[in-house]
Amino acid sequence: MTVLQAHYDVVIVGGGPAGLAAAVGARDSGCGRILIVDREKEMGGILNQCIHSGFGLHNFKEELTGPEYADRFIRRVRSEPGIDILSESFILDISPDLRVTLMGSSIGLVEIRAGAVVLAMGARERARGAIRTPGYRPAGVMTAGLAQRMVNMEGLLPGKRIAILGSGDIGLIMARRLTLEGCEVTGVYEIMPYCNGLTRNVVQCLKDFDIPLHLSTTMAFIHGRDRVQKVTLAPVADDCQPQLAKAWDVDCDTILMSIGLIPENELSRQLRLQMDPITGGPRVSSTLETSLPGVFACGNVLHIHDLVDYVTEESMRAGAFAGELAQGRRRPQDNIELQAGDNVRYCVPHTLSPDREISVYLRCIRPQRDCILRLGNFLEKPLRLVIPSEMIHLTIKPEILQRFYGTTLRIDIVPREDA
Amino acid sequence: MKSQIELVCICCPMGCQMQLHVEGRAISEIEGNTCKIGLNYARQECIDPRRMLSTTVACKNGLWPRLPVKTAEAIPKAMMGEIARSLHFLAVTAPVEIGAVIVENICGTSINVVATRSMPKVKLEADNN
């Protein structure tokens, strides 16, 4: 039986990599009463099913698997006296004066008060409905991440002959994983003319196992009334429409979809937070505070990250700012709006303040070689290559913003003139 | 005998397309790399390609029925399938501590297979009857 206190300095929604790092950040800022709430039976979130290595190269300078990365933070959080962990529970509601309504098997229905709240709910996978693939609705069509959980945690194989739609990293990782478990992977089919996953995964997950990657190809029809029997694949023209005259069939009993992630913001919308339609997450200030004072956001619920190391870095800051606020330390309000300009899809945070160093994460719209990342007329950073699947990190020193008296700064990615 | 090998560098997002010119068993020239890291990668990949292997083994009485494991060091690329298959029918019993050696000297590589998480015990033997 978990005994909850009536008041916490910081309540963290989600015990994945973002929530755990936010707890560490809040603790380091001096908070003594922190609560992490997660709906699963253990902390670690999606890291627990990501058993491949490649995590932690930035933060720990070594290559860890997902469960190992999670373990480091779970140990740290467990060893801190001021952090309570509540599993198999979820948050039903947060009021504007930060009264949090929780429900769980070990606590029943409880209301507690919070000095600050950190949203760290992570993301959910896009599923078949999001891309409206024609065909039947048989068993055997699932997201790559669900298959990953089945294989790596629950000990279930999703099928024997597998076709993968979409070249996201989870799909590539699962192509290798299922091959090693004795399944046959017919190929990975990507509608875009380029792969959405990291080059490293194309080499180590597909090429190493001779799994074909078909670019500019999509699924035109899913066959099978009860179970998937085959799939019709077709090359797409420049307008992304399938060219049915060139279609071909592939026998398979399972289709995995790896077509992107959506930040899980049901709670944020319930709170009527101002949202960014591009990131799918809330708008945040330079302290990662949302439009509702005292509510912060970090990790994949804010915007989709490609490396967990970045999630950790961002979430430790969010936790620290939430902890400061809960202890009554207020920072000056942001007075500069940050705008996405040429070849910038989005940037987070949405506003800036000149009172401290600020980390900005952004993504480009299209690949570009030999370019310059430009912040107004104040900062230029040469970049050899930008691609949409790799997040760009920019640090802005306070001196730079102290020379700026306007209200709006633009970030652009422009061609290098001498190139 | 001269031959040419095509490689894509995986050390950073640039993804340089490299060509290795090989004479007998020696590399005579590497083209296409744009930094030194690529050179080292190409040499290693050509002489002794290695990979980390992550997989799972069955786990009795644990919180989950599968325990994730990895090779403690990178193993020869050609042995990935053999090592993965040799772990298919292995079962351990919870509790298991993270880092615990699950198999010593897997397939004669002198590399150990270790647990990548702690698996608490939840089910009692009696519950299974």
How far is the C-alpha of A38 from the C-alpha of A30, rounded, in Å? 23
> How buried is A88 (Cβ within 10 angstroms: 0-12 exposed, 13-18 middle, 19+ buried)?
middle
Q: Are residues A269 and A120 in the same domain?
A: yes
The total of structural domains in chain A comes to 3
Domain definitions of chain B by residue range: 2-47, 54-128
Range of the structural domain that residue A252 is part of: 127-259
What are the DSSP E strand ranges found in A134-212?
A: 141-143, 161-165, 184-189
B107 — phi, psi (to 5°)? Answer: 50, 35
Smallest CA–CA distance from A149 into chain B, residue: B66
Q: Are residues A119 and A267 in the same domain?
A: yes
How far is the C-alpha of A328 from the C-alpha of A361, rounded, in Å? 28
- B33 to chain A, closest Cα gap in Å: 14
Residues B66, A390: C-beta atoms closer than 8 Å? no
What is the pLDDT, as a whole number, of residue B123?
Answer: 61
What is the pLDDT, as a whole number, of residue B129?
Answer: 44
CA quadruple A113, A117, A120, A123: dihedral positive or negative?
positive
Return the CATH number at A391. 2.60.40
> How buried is B75 (Cβ within 10 angstroms: 0-12 exposed, 13-18 middle, 19+ buried)?
buried
Q: Are residues A278 and A241 in the same domain?
A: no
How far is the C-alpha of A160 from the C-alpha of A163, rounded, in Å? 10
Interface predicted TM-score (ipTM): 0.90
CATH T-level fold of B2-47: N-terminal domain of TfIIb (2.20.25)
From A331, A359, A383, give the residue that closes a domain: A331
Q: Are residues A107 and A143 in the same domain?
A: no
A207 domain residue, yes or no: yes
Using the CB atoms, write b or e for A392-408: b if 16+ within 10 Å: beeebeeebbeebeeee
From A199, A225, A259, give the residue that closes a domain: A259
Residues A153, B10: C-beta atoms closer than 8 Å? no
Element (H, E) at B52: none
CA quadruple A279, A283, A285, A289: dihedral positive or negative?
negative
Q: Is it true that the peptide bond before B95 is cis, omega within 30 degrees of 0?
A: yes
From A231, A259, A287, give the residue that closes a domain: A259
Give me the residue from B13, B64, B65 closest to A390, CB to CB: B13
Inter-chain CB pairs, A–B, below 8 Å? 77
A274 domain residue, yes or no: yes
Q: Are residues A148 and A269 in the same domain?
A: no
User: In chain B, what residues touch A198 (CB-CB under 8 Å)?
Assistant: 13
pLDDT < 70 positions in chain A: 1-2, 418-419
CB of A42 within 8 Å of any CB in chain B?
Answer: yes
What would the pLDDT profile of B69-123 be if each residue is shown by its tens digit? 999 999 999 999 999 999 999 999 999 999 999 999 999 999 999 999 999 998 6
A1 domain residue, yes or no: no
Q: Are residues A120 and A223 in the same domain?
A: no
What would the pLDDT profile of A20-76 be if each residue is shown by its tens digit? 999 999 999 999 899 999 999 999 999 999 999 989 988 898 889 999 999 999 999
Rounded average pLDDT over B49-58: 95
A184 domain residue, yes or no: yes
Element (H, E) at B18: strand B17-23
Count of other CB atoms within 10 angstroms of residue B37? 14
Chain B residues within 8 angstroms (CB to CB) of chain A: 8-10, 13-15, 51-56, 58, 63-66, 68, 70, 77, 80-81, 84-85, 88, 98, 116-118
Q: Are residues A179 and A281 in the same domain?
A: no
List the one residue out of A392, A314, A357, A236 whose CA is nearest residue A21: A314
Return the CATH number at A71. 3.50.50.60
**Six-digit token pair at A80?**
């801190």
B125 — phi, psi (to 5°)? Answer: -55, -40
Smallest CA–CA distance from B53 into chain A, residue: A52
> How far, in Å, are A303, A409, B73 from residue A275 at the CA level?
11, 20, 45
**Residue B90 in contact with residue B58, Cβ under 8 Å?**
yes
Q: Are residues A184 and A251 in the same domain?
A: yes
Residues A53, B70: C-beta atoms closer than 8 Å? yes
- What CATH number belongs to B54-128? 3.10.530.10
Q: Are residues A118 and A132 in the same domain?
A: no
- A335 to chain B, closest Cα gap in Å: 35
A2 domain residue, yes or no: no
Q: Are residues A316 and A271 in the same domain?
A: yes
Rounded average pLDDT over B50-56: 95
A49 domain residue, yes or no: yes
**Strand A217-223 and strand A213-214: pairing?**
unpaired
Residues A204, B88: C-beta atoms closer than 8 Å? no
- A385 to chain B, closest Cα gap in Å: 7
Answer yes or no: is pLDDT of B127 > 60.
no
% of chain B with per-residue pLDDT over 90? 56
